[in-house]
């Protein structure tokens, strides 16, 4: 047994060493793509800082900046679902000492149900109210600290509405017939739903925002509520919901954000992207910092609750808070902003709850007295269920999930796609160039030969291609003994080095007088991100780079198209390769960029595709598919689907190979 294990280890070690001899880049390249993306992001936020510095020079400029941030966010969030009848239901009442809890269900869009708990104090109303947005705990509104927060508010004269977000509590969207979740948990589910929503021009944050807007629409119908005195607060992921909600809805008069506000630029550099519910494509290219979303609500009273030892970067919180301070100072409203820091970690702990209720009492009751929390009994998650089954998917026949709505949007966008495809190839290419941000204008390249390696009778030239403002691109090039009759370009998504070890395949090409190019497009092969940088719960091997690329408005498929065009600029500059017909073989995440490239490069004779998606609808039909973010182009299905691209390339030019 031990000897067998030794042999296996020796084989793996030998293969790894064999493949390393094909490395082209002589530095550690696995961070190259992330570094490139961060540099682009910093440039965007540098522009934002210049704009912000001008904004705070005068009160007039500051007011204009506040208005602009509100408008930018509304534009960024996109079109929300249409408002329908809320069809509210009170499915139960729990009487407690000093307050009661009503179990509420409403529809945020047709046949899409939202579960919530409504805490109503004893006494004669109407009362001020608070929307309480939940973080990423599985039981959501039944989380002990959220119950304690709601009870403390209710005992101090507030109606409190605690809403289950999608993928939590009673609102899992991807379930089996018994209501059991089909993914690794809520944060995985709403991250996957965000990817498919992006394809149809929406996002998980937009769906959460809409649920919350409709929650407020319901809240103001209650006779117990003073609709002129409503605030919102949230913790963790609920804190991000609070930030988005405050930027959008002006009905909110007081705001408290716990364990989430930070400097987005710093967070993405230090920690990388978080869950999909906190990621709206193009936030960076729109030059929106997280603080800007609260600035959009200025000068409404804002309380920031933070833990000095939170995994939410406290330095980032201080930087974001400094932005807010400068805005509120410029507006002469410094008293409406406060930072409460505890020497604790993540979550809305007792001191933070007390600070939040005191803040709301100050601004909605005119009462500056400090609130002290006494012991509070909480209920089990089963006791707080609004549905009879514990999940909306099993409680309601014909429930429309977020995944269902995204699929429905695909169908409703068909007419728009058909109109786009009538525009003519030139206009279609121009639109695709803008949508994917493809760099097809700069054809100047710099070639660096870094060595030659001969293995198993095959000689490879190691080449790095550089294009101004783009990531270096490593190639292996093998020439036949005689003159080349044709060229084959391989774009494997598992790295050119493994393919270079396929001796019989490469020799077959060379014996038929083909020149062979093996290329690592950015983020693959030598520049592939390290596995430990990508949490497996996101079902994507390049999650941090894919999300950062979307944040800065440069989706990875478009960047990889740029790389393919760079390879063809190289081919066109080499005497040995000029005027050769080119067959392209692309695999996995490189298959879609190869299809796009065929629209720009007439020299591509045939395109053979392995293991890639054949339609964006595949992702809509299977939201739990692996590596979905590697294909995401925001709003793409308003323009075309993959089969449309294939038709545009010409009959018989593209062939899908057997899996």
C-alpha to C-alpha distance for 318 and 659, rounded to whole angstroms = 51
Read off the pLDDT of residues 476-485 as tens digits, 9 standing for 90 and up.
999 999 889 9
Tokens 């995985």 belong to 188
Read off the pLDDT of residues 570-627 as tens digits, 9 standing for 90 and up.
999 999 898 899 999 999 999 999 999 999 999 999 999 999 999 999 999 999 999 9
* pLDDT greater than 80 at residue 552: yes
Q: What is the DSSP string of 42-85?
A: HHHHHHHHHHHHHHTTSHHHHHHHHHHHHHHHHHHH-PPPPP--
* pLDDT greater than 50 at residue 5: no
C-alpha to C-alpha distance for 134 and 141, rounded to whole angstroms = 6
* pLDDT confidence tier of residue 10, bands split at 50, 70 and 90: very low
> Superfamily assignment of 415-656 in CATH?
Alpha/Beta hydrolase fold, catalytic domain (3.40.50.1820)
Residue 130, pLDDT score: 98
- Continuous segment of H or E residues that includes residue 342: strand 337-342
* pLDDT greater than 80 at residue 35: yes
* pLDDT greater than 80 at residue 163: yes
Residues of the chain with CATH 3.40.50.1820: 89-412, 415-656
C-alpha to C-alpha distance for 529 and 37, rounded to whole angstroms = 12
* pLDDT greater than 60 at residue 532: yes
Read off the pLDDT of residues 110-155 as tens digits, 9 standing for 90 and up.
999 999 999 999 999 999 999 999 999 999 999 999 999 999 999 9
Name the DSSP letter for residue 301: -
Radius of gyration of the chain (CA): 28
C-alpha to C-alpha distance for 418 and 399, rounded to whole angstroms = 30
C-alpha to C-alpha distance for 331 and 604, rounded to whole angstroms = 60
C-alpha to C-alpha distance for 401 and 114, rounded to whole angstroms = 11
Residue 635 CB coordination number (10 Å): 16
59-77 helix and 204-219 helix, angle to the nearest 10 degrees: 110
pTM above 0.85, yes or no: yes
C-alpha to C-alpha distance for 16 and 409, rounded to whole angstroms = 46
Do residues 467 and 439 make contact, with C-beta atoms less than 8 angstroms apart?
yes
* pLDDT greater than 80 at residue 276: yes
Q: How many residues does the chain have?
A: 659
The residues, any chain, with a CB within 8 Å of residue 303's CB and separated by 6 or more, are: 255, 256, 257, 337, 338, 339, 340, 355, 356, 359
CATH 3.40.50.1820 corresponds to the domain 89-412 = yes
């Amino acid at each position: 047994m031990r000897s067998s294990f030794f042999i296996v280890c020796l084989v793996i070690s030998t293969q790894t060493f064999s493949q390393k001899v094909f490395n082209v880049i002589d530095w550690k390249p696995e961070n190259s793509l992330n570094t490139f993306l961060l540099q682009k992001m910093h440039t965007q936020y540098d522009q934002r800082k210049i704009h912000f510095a001008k904004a705070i020079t005068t009160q007039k400029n500051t007011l204009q900046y506040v208005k602009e941030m509100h408008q930018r966010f509304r534009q960024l969030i996109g079109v929300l679902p249409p408002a329908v009848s809320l069809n509210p239901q009170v499915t139960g009442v729990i009487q407690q000492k000093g307050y009661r809890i009503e179990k509420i269900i409403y529809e945020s869009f047709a046949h899409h149900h939202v579960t919530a708990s409504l805490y109503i104090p004893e006494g004669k109303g109407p009362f001020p109210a608070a929307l309480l947005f939940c973080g990423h705990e599985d039981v959501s509104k039944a989380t002990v600290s959220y119950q304690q927060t709601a009870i403390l508010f209710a005992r101090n004269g507030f109606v409190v509405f605690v809403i289950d977000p999608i993928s939590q509590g009673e609102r899992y969207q991807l379930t089996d017939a018994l209501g059991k979740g089909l993914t690794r948990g809520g944060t995985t589910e709403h991250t996957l739903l965000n990817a498919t929503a992006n394809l149809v021009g929406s996002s998980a944050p937009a769906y959460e925002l809409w649920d919350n807007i409709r929650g407020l629409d319901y809240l103001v119908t209650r006779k117990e509520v003073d609709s002129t005195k409503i605030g919102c607060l949230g913790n963790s992921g609920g804190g991000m919901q609070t930030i988005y909600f405050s930027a959008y809805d002006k009905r909110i008069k007081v705001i408290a954000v716990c364990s989430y506000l930070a400097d987005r630029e710093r967070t993405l550099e230090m920690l990388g992207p978080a869950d999909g519910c906190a990621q709206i494509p193009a936030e960076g290219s729109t030059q929106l910092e997280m603080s800007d979303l609260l600035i959009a609500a200025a000068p409404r009273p804002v309380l920031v609750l933070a833990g000095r030892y939170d995994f939410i970067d406290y330095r980032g919180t201080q930087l974001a808070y400094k932005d807010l301070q400068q805005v509120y100072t410029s507006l002469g409203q410094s008293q409406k902003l406060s930072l409460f820091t505890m020497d604790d970690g993540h979550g809305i702990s007792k001191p933070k709850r007390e600070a939040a209720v005191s803040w709301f009492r100050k601004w909605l009751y005119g009462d500056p007295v400090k609130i002290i929390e006494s012991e509070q009994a909480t209920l089990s998650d089963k006791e707080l269920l609004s549905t009879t089954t514990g999940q909306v998917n099993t409680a309601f026949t014909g429930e429309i999930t977020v995944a269902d709505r995204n699929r429905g949007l695909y169908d409703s966008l068909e007419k728009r796609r058909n109109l786009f495809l009538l525009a003519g190839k030139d206009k279609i290419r121009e639109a695709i160039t803008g949508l994917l941000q493809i760099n097809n204008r700069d054809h100047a390249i710099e070639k660096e030969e870094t060595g030659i390696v001969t293995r198993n009778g095959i000689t490879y030239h190691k080449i790095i291609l550089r294009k101004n403002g783009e990531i270096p691109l490593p190639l292996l090039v093998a020439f036949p003994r005689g003159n080349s009759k044709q060229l084959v370009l391989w774009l494997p998504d598992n790295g050119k080095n493994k393919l270079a070890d396929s001796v019989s395949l490469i020799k077959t090409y060379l014996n038929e007088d083909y020149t062979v190019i093996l290329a690592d497009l950015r983020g693959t092969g030598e520049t592939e991100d390290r596995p430990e940088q990508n949490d497996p719960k996101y079902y994507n091997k390049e999650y941090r780079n894919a999300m950062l690329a979307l944040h800065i408005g440069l989706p990875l498929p478009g960047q990889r198209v740029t790389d393919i065009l760079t390879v063809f600029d190289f081919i066109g500059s080499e005497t040995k390769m000029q005027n050769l017909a080119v067959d392209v073989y692309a695999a996995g995440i490189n298959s879609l960029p190869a299809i796009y490239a065929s629209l720009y490069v007439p020299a591509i004779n045939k395109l053979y595709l392995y293991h890639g998606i054949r339609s964006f609808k595949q992702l809509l039909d299977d939201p739990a598919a692996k590596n979905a973010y590697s294909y995401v182009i925001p709003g793409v299905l308003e323009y075309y689907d993959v089969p449309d691209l294939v038709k545009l390339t010409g009959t018989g030019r593209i062939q899908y190979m057997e899996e």
